Each structure stands twice: as structure tokens, then as C-alpha cells.
Amino acid sequence: MCFLSDPTKVQAYLKTIDEVIEKGPFKDDWESLSHYGIPDWYARAKFGLFVHWGVYSVPAFHNEWYSREMYQKGSRAYAHHRKTYGRNFGYKDFIPQFKAEHYDPKEWAELFAESGARYVTPVGEHHDGFKMYPSELCEWNAVNMGPKRDVYGELKKELTDRGIKYCSSSHRAEHYWFMNGGRDIPGSDVQDEKYREFYGPSVAKAKGDPSRRPEGSIVPSKAWLEDWLASTCELVDVNRPYTIYFDWWVRQHAFRPYMKKFLAYYYNRSREWGMEVCVFYKWDGVMYHCAVLDIERGQLAAINPRPWQNDTAIAKNSWGYTQGNDFKTPYELICNLIDVVSKNGCLMLNVGPKADGTICPEEAAVLREIGKWLQINGEAIYDTSPYKIFGEGPSNCGGSFHEKFSFTKKDFRFTYKPDALYVFALMPNQKNIYRLKTLGSKDDALNYQILGVSLLGRNCNVSFTQTNDYLELHAATDERFEMPVCFKISID
């Protein structure tokens, strides 16, 4: 069975991969890979963007898993698809409608710069198997079909011109089984061997598989693992991204030797290119200290000793654009950003453009509001490190898919630079008086000399009183704040 346009090209790529690893300083073993550190630029960046845009943006229904769920009997997408498009309309038939006719990479880059993002991660290939970059290995890509242009090559140039780092992501691992529901639908185009290269193996779960996860107990074949390795190395070679993000299934143990080869290849290539790169993984998909931990739609409950990443979306229900998206507020997302940064993390916030290449007004407005807030408070976010403690207050949580935004007037978060402690009040009160119990002198959290206190972005006097039991800050202003505010405590 052929998974790629030309299997001989895959084998040639695998040979190149081995040659690069043999010549480079990083070998495909965990000990060697653990010596590749986290880039300083990433640790300082704090805020980036994720972009989910692809063929799934055409139906714009429910979420970005439409290509799977339209073949899943009993799902909302299955019923919607039958009613709207009919039983003979396959996922491949959306590709000609993915025209990106209003796509303007300059407009995107300007908006992303306005948001304050330091890096941007467009999805290189999602679970549907459609590559958003030019590929010699697979003809099902955005240069050959759909937009018929190098959409992300164009975006990279615009981002680079604005000092924003271009990154990418691969979700190809899951493509091995992603559209397997089509195996159970008589006459489905998923079963048509003419489209096997696009639909992939579509391996079904074994009957009686007790796992509730969509992939069940499926184990990828050697052919697919080689396919994945070659495809992912091609992805980094095409546009030389500063980071690569992986979704969850690479944690399947069969990927281990191939992941080690990819990391060694990418890290060695980065040395050739003069770049400092990093890789994001979830659920122990990579050995600790060999890449950067990512928490999807969640947080950590405490400061992590190594920089990490939280990826979440502006929309609560989907990563891609849908007509029924339910959006988070700028306030919620700014609180999320502060919480993540206080624990040594970076936030990668997702937007989902429409199939025509435009970004919906709701998401654009959110990005601009975040940018306005960062214009005032950015010095307490960018280039900071965590303090001795991340903050105080009753609201805290940790784990993936566990987002919490109900902060109270007693919730504070801290960040630090060598001459300043920054204190964020996540829910400002009307009196602009804040008492922090963790910063009393008896607890050794703040025994530096306080030289003065200011409120970022406001020209008002801030008085302070420190006792054994608390530090009290009082901003002399009648202004009522709707967004989190930040006090800069100058220390020596």
C-alpha cells in the first residue's frame, strides 16, 4: 500500500536523515538529545500565536475534526454532512473550495504584530493529511491544490520582516487512523484506493477495543513510521521553522526511535542554518529535557523549572473556524497569559482563519485588545522570569484540558526581573487597594529593600506598607480597571 506519492523518495530522504545525524553533533539517543538546550529567545518570548487553517475551514462546522467526524456515524458532523452535501460528497471534494481568495499574508502579519506575539505557528499539516506547504513527497498540498500557492512561505517572509519568528506544527501521526470511520460506510471514498495517498491507511480500531481514545490500541506500521519521519523532516527543510509542535499520538511507543531520529536531524540542521530551535511535545511524547513540554488547553499548578508552553484557542469549542464558534474574552485570555508566564511558561494562542483567508472580526478584535494591554504591561511579561513564588490567591489549577478563568479579587500573580518584582492583580477592585499576604516580611518572600512602587501605564502615586503579615499597595486613582493591572515594585 502506498502512503506517499513516491515511496522511493521516502527512502532517499531516510538516507539523507541518517547522513545528517552521522555528521552532526546530536545523535539519535536521549543522552545526546538532552544536551540541546531551550533557546533563550523562546524563554523570553512569552506570547505566540497558533494558526489552524486548512481544508477543514471550508465546511466550518462544529470543529477542526470535521474530516474525521463526517465519517463517524451518529456524530453531529455526520448528520450535517449528509443533509448539506449528500452521501457521495467526500472530504477530498472540499479541496477545490479551499481557495484562500482573500488571503493577504501582509495583513495577517500586521495583525499578529499588533497582538504583541513574538512567534507564530501555522499548522503545517493537520490530521486530515493535507499539507499546507510545498511537498515533493505528497501531491496533496496547498501549492498543487486548493489555494495553489505557497501560503506559509509568503507568511514567513512577512513575519520575518517584522521580527516575528516563523514556526510550524505536524499532526500527521494521527492521520494513520483519523478517517477510519469511512471504512464502515459502504461506498465511502475513504475506501477508494485512488485516494489512498490522501486518506492514508485509515486503520480501524479492533473490534472490542476497550479504549475510549479515538486511536484505541492501534499501533503504526513500519511503513507509516518511515512516512512520518520523512514527511516531518521535509516540513522543517521547506521553511526552516524555529519550532515544531507535535500533537499527542507521537507518544505511542512505536514512534520512539523515529522521534529520536527526527530530533537529531532537526537539531543538527538548526546548527547548519545558524538557528536556535525547539520542539513541543505532550504526554511524555519526548523524553524529559530533550524538548519543551506543552500543556493543551490547561495550565500547570506550580512553577516549572524549565520553560514550557500552554497552547489554547480563542474559541472555546474549536481550533479551526466554524460558524458557531464561542469565543473567550480578552480578559480571560490575558489572565491566562499572566498565569502561564508566572509559572515559567509561554502562551501560544490559536486563531482559526476562514477558508477565504480572512480572520473573523471577533478573533481580530481579541488580538488587538491583547496587544493594547501588552503595550502597557509588556515589560512585566516579555523577558521576565518566575519569582520565588508564582503568586497567591484561591484560584489555581493544573493539567491539560482544565482551563480556569474565574479569578477573584484575592488572586495575584508575580513575575520578576533582577531589579523589579511585578505584581498582577487579576481582578482589580474599585478602591485600588491590594493586600498581599505572601509578601509580608516574615515569610522571606520579599525582604529586599523596596525603592518604590508604580502602576504600569498610569501616572499616579502608589503608596505601600509592608508589615510582618502583608504588603499593601494603594494606587491613588479613581479609575476603574476592567483588565488586570500590574504594579512594578523596584527593589534592591
Sorted by where each starts, the structural domains of the chain and their CATH numbers stand as: 7-380 (3.20.20.80), 391-491 (2.60.40.1180)
Distances in Å between the Cα of 182 and the Cα atoms of 1, 88, 215 are: 17, 12, 14
Which cell numbers in the block locate residue 362?
471577533
Helices (H), 274-408: 330-342, 361-377
Is the Cβ–Cβ distance between 155 and 164 less than 8 Å?
A: no
Looking only at the bridges linking them, the beta strands covering 308-313 and 292-296 are: parallel
Closest CA to 421 of 466, 461, 460: 466
Angle between helical axes of 7-23 and 256-273 (0-180°, round to 10)? 70
Report the predicted TM-score, pTM, of the whole model to 2 decimal places: 0.96
Is the Cβ–Cβ distance between 492 and 446 less than 8 Å?
A: no
CA separation for the pair 386, 388 (Å, rounded): 7
Residue-level pLDDT, tens digit, the chain, 492 residues: 445 557 889 999 999 999 999 999 999 999 999 999 999 999 999 999 999 999 999 999 999 999 999 999 999 999 999 999 999 999 999 999 999 999 999 999 999 999 999 999 999 999 999 999 999 999 999 999 999 999 999 999 999 999 999 999 999 999 999 999 999 999 999 999 999 999 999 999 888 787 878 888 899 999 999 999 999 999 999 999 999 999 999 999 999 999 999 999 999 999 999 999 999 999 999 999 999 999 999 899 999 999 999 999 999 999 999 998 999 999 999 999 999 999 999 999 999 999 999 999 999 999 999 999 999 999 999 999 999 999 999 988 777 767 766 899 999 999 999 999 999 999 999 999 999 999 999 888 899 999 999 999 999 999 999 999 999 999 999 889 999 999 999 999
